[in-house]
Amino acid sequence: MTMQEMAQGMAAAARPAGRPRSEKAEKAIVEATLDLIAEGMGVAELSIEAIASRAGVGKTTIYRRWSNKEDLVVDALATLKAPPPPVAGVSVHDDLVTLLSAMQDEKRKSRTRCIINIAMSDADRYPRLMERFVKIAIEPRRQAVRDVVQRGIDSGELRPDVDVEVALATLSGAMLWHTKWGNGDVTDDFSTRVVDQVLSGLTSR
pLDDT for 174-190, tens place per residue? 888 876 665 555 677 88
Q: Name 6's Cβ contacts closer than 8 Å, sequence gap at least 6.
A: none
Q: What is the pLDDT of residue 68?
A: 93
Q: What is the pLDDT of residue 120?
A: 81
The arrangement of secondary structure in 3-68, i.e. its CATH architecture, is Orthogonal Bundle (1.10)
Q: What is the pLDDT of residue 186?
A: 66
For residue 123, the Cα-to-chain-centroid distance in whole angstroms is 15
Q: What is the pLDDT of residue 17?
A: 41
Q: Which ranges in the chain are annotated with CATH 1.10.10.60?
A: 3-68
pLDDT category at 9 given cuts 50, 70, 90 is very low
User: How far apart (Å, rounded) are the C-alpha atoms in residues 41 and 33?
Assistant: 10
Question: Is 2.40.10.480 the CATH classification of the domain at 92-199?
Answer: no
pLDDT > 70 fraction of the chain, expressed in percent and rounded: 84
